[in-house]
Structures are given as structure tokens and as C-alpha cells.
Structure 1
Amino acid sequence: MVRSGGNGRGGGQSVKAARRAEVVLPDLAVWEGGGLEPDGDYDGLEFADLDLAGQEGVGSRFMDCAVRRCGVDGVGLAKARVLDSVWEGVRGVGADLSGALLRDVEVLEARLGGVQLQGAVLERVVVRGGKIDYLNLRQARLRDVVFEGCVLVEPDFAGAVLERVEFRDCVLRGVDVTGARLTDVDLRGAAELEVARGVESLAGAVISPAQLFDLAPALAAQLGVRVVA
């Protein structure tokens, strides 16, 4: 599906739209385990109102699961696989999902800081609402990902590959896209866009005329152009 610039948001440009995750969960069983385990296999479970801080679930698989209103400070989920799942109202600092796979996942109203997703793969993921500070997506691969109505403070996309990624009604502050590769990345719907580093790597993104005006000083500096009144 192609979204045309004829809708007034692209000035004649076109950008392929992200294929949105639409997660439909089955009837879930309440998880009653004592704690996450490395290489655990969690299928059709609901984790609700739990403190998962510091627990280690490295290499685990979550399939058709809901994680609701849980504390995830320092939880270890490196190389985990999160499939067809919903994470809603999670909160915490320093969750480690480095090298993880998230496919067909909705993250709703999260309040997170310092989430480690470097080297992760995100496919058909929706992040809606909430606030995430210092999101680390270095060297990650994002395809068909939508950020909607959320606040991202100093997200790090350095060296990442983004394809069909949309930012809708988002606030993006202090973004680092150094060395990133972008294809059909739609930034026009961002309510606020501040690129701190890597403005030269925005090739492959689509922005609005107003955003171009805001980015002009950084673009001029990158080109070595002095603007003198």
C-alpha cells in the first residue's frame, strides 16, 4: 500500500505505509510462576500487576502473551522472542532486550527509560502513547513499525536500518540517526522533531516543509554553509 503525497502531507512525494500490527489475543491464563527463567517458554499467558524487576529471562519466548502494568526495572530479556503479544502500561528503567525479536507486538502507554534494544529486530510493532527516555536501538532493524502519540527523548537509531517506519503525533527530542539507513520513513506526522546527530543520514525519510525549516540550521552546518544576515 502506498500513501500518496496528494493528501497534503508530502508535496508530491510518496512513501510506502507501514503494515500495522493487529494483535488479537486468545483467552489467556494467569501466569502464576515464581519468576522468569532463561530460555523460558511462555504461551497464552497474562502477566498482570507484577514486579519483574531484575528477573532473568534471557532467550525466552513469549507467544500470545499480555504483560500489563508490570515493573520491568533491569529485567533481562536479551535475545528473547516476543510474538503476537501486547505490553500495556509497563514501567521501569534499564530493561535489556538487546538482540531480541519483536514481531506483531503492541506496546501501549509504557513509561520506560534506558531500554536496551541494540541489535534487536522489530517487525510489525506499534508503540502507542506513553514516554520512553534514552531508547537504545543502535544497529537494530525496524520494519513496519509505527510510533504513535508517544514521547521519545534522545532515542538512538545510530547504525540502525529502518524500513516503512512511521512517526504519528510523536514528540522526538534529541534523535541520533548517525549512520542509519532509512527507507520509506515517514516523519511528517511528528508533532516535534529534533535531530541532535546524524542529520546527514535522513536520506530515505519524508518530512514536511515546516520540518525542513526547523532542520535547516543543522543541514547548513552539515554542508559547511554559513548563514549570515
Structure 2
Amino acid sequence: MADPIEDQTFHNEDWYAEELFDRAYTRCRFLDVDLTEAVSRGSVFTDCVFGNVRLNASRHTDSAFLRCSFTRCNLFEAEFAGCKLTGSTFTDCALRPLTVTGGDWSFVTLTGADLRGVTLRGVRMREVDLSGADCAGATLADLDLSGAHLGKATLTGCDLRGSDLTALDPTGVALAGARINPEQAIVVAQALGFEVVP
């Protein structure tokens, strides 16, 4: 890992297809930076601010974005594999289509986000805030959603198979056509007050 870059501001810079390997940034600000098709691997961003950053078609593997804030960023066709985004916040970001495989997105704030059709598989998302998020048609499979905030979320047509739904209040979300497995059906029935018996 390279020595950390701290407290710097990068403004209106062209980092198109930049290779961000084993870099470390702490409390840095990225404003109007073009990271289209950039690739990160093993890099760590801590307490950084991303404002109006273009992350279109970027690829991130085993990188960390810890307690970062993303505002009006474009993540069209971005991919995250095995990344840690604990405590990060997304506000007014374009997140479709987004693909996330593995990693830890616990305590991430995605309030009101447009996540229609995104794909998230095998991600730890404990206490994630998806309040009011539109996840219609999304794949949210094999996720750890324990303690998640899902109030007023739209989960219509979602593939929720294998995900922890213990935090789900079926009366507070839109669920029509969502797909779950038999074990999850028991959890949902119990949340509705049913006593499941053989």
C-alpha cells in the first residue's frame, strides 16, 4: 500500500481509465473528476467526499470506501466486487445499472435511491438504509439485511432469495411479485403474526 494522500482536493481532473491500485486517500475531496472506466484494486478511501464524479463503467475490486459521501455521482454500469463501503452515503446519485458482488455495505445510506434493476449478490448490508428506495425488478439475493431500514421501499418484482428478511415489515413495503424461498416465506408469515405449524 502506498503512503496515504491526505486532505487534498482534486477538482475538474481527467482520470479517465485511471488504474488505482493499492492507493490510500484520507479526507480527500474529489469534485467534478472524470473516473469513467477507472479501475481500482486494493485501494482505500477513508472519509472522502465525491461530488459530481463520473464513475461510469468503473470497476472496483477488493477496495474500500469507508464513511465516504457520494453526491450527484454517476455510477452507470459500475461494478464492485469484494469491496467495503461501510458507513458511506449516496445522495442524488445515478446508480443504474449497478452490479455489486460480495463485500460489506453495512450502515450504507441509500435513502430514496433509484435502484431499479440493479444486481446485488452475497453482500453484507447490515443496518443499511433503504428507506423509500425503489428496488423494483432488482436482484437482492443472498444479502445480510439484518437490521436494515426498509420502510416505504419498493421491492416489487425483486429476487430476494437467500437474503435475511428478519428486518422486513411486509406491511410497510411494496412487495408484489417479489421472489423468496420457502424458508423466507416462514419469516414473512411470522412477521405478519402467523403461527407457522407443520
> TM-score normalized by structure 2?
0.77
Matched, 1:56 2:48: no
Partner residue of 2:163?
175
CA shift, 1:70, in A, is 1.3
Structure 1: distance between partners of 2:190 and 2:145: 10
Query: Does 37-46 or 76-85 show the bigger shift?
Result: 37-46
Structure 1: distance between partners of 2:197 and 2:75: 46
Structure 1: distance between partners of 2:46 and 2:55: 17
Q: Secondary structure at the match of 2:27?
A: coil
Pairing partner for 2:188 from 199, 204, 221: 199
Partner residue of 1:153?
141
Partner residue of 1:122?
110
Higher-RCO chain (CA-CA 8 Å, sequence separation at least 6): 1
Structure 1: distance between partners of 2:13 and 2:191: 44
Report sequence identity in percent: 18
Pairing partner for 1:142 from 126, 130, 133: 130
Preserved CA contact (<8 Å) 1:162 1:180: yes
CA distance 1:149–1:179, shift in 2 (3 Å): closer
Q: How do 1:52-91 residues align onto structure 2 when only pairs under 5 Å count?
A: 52-91=40-79
CA shift, 1:180, in A, is 5.0
CA distance 1:138–1:195, shift in 2 (3 Å): farther
Partner residue of 2:14?
30
Q: Secondary structure at the match of 1:42?
A: strand
Preserved CA contact (<8 Å) 1:104 1:123: no
Preserved CA contact (<8 Å) 1:161 1:181: no
- Gap runs ≥5 in structure 1: 1-27, 204-218
Partner residue of 1:41?
29
Structure 2: distance between partners of 1:46 and 1:201: 48
C-alpha root-mean-square deviation of aligned residues, in Å? 2.7
CA shift, 1:140, in A, is 2.1
Structure 2: distance between partners of 1:45 and 1:176: 37
> TM-score normalized by structure 1?
0.68
CA shift, 1:184, in A, is 2.9
Number of aligned positions between the proteins: 181
Structure 2: distance between partners of 1:201 and 1:126: 29
- Gap runs ≥5 in structure 2: 1-11
Deviations 1:204-228 (A, max 9, x none): xxxxxxxxxxxxxxx86xx2412xx
CA shift, 1:182, in A, is 6.9
